[in-house]
Amino acid sequence: MKDDLLKVNILGVNLTFKAKENSTQLKQVIWFLNKKIEETRDKHKSVDQLKLSILSSIYIVDELISLKNSQFNATSEETLPQTDILITEEVDRAFQRVIDVLETNVNE
């Protein structure tokens, strides 16, 4: 299968990603990131681009950790039900895929 190139603009920086298989998830990641950047810009109007990207990253990671913690706190038992464990593992895998894409497929 041929790799599709996905061109995006984040904070005025043009990036090209190699979207292996289906680019739908990568498009969702970029959309979410841009949405979070806009929300952060609304909260911190006088922040430069670098600080804006760092703050946005912190907010995203905070949401991820809150999601994971809420899954663990949802039950008072020592062990999580199998479905919660699978959800947590899927969140971990999804986050790792995002990191892998950013590390290996970004062409400046």
Would you say 6 and 19 are in contact if contact means Cβ atoms under 8 Å apart?
A: yes
Tell me which of 106 and 74 has the higher pLDDT. Answer: 74
Q: How many domains does the chain have?
A: 1
Q: pLDDT at position 35, please?
A: 92
Q: pLDDT at position 4, please?
A: 77
Half-sphere exposure (Cβ direction) of 99: Cα atoms closer than 13 Å: 8
% of the chain with per-residue pLDDT over 70: 66
Which domain covers residue 58, as residue numbers? 4-107
Q: What is this structure's pTM?
A: 0.61
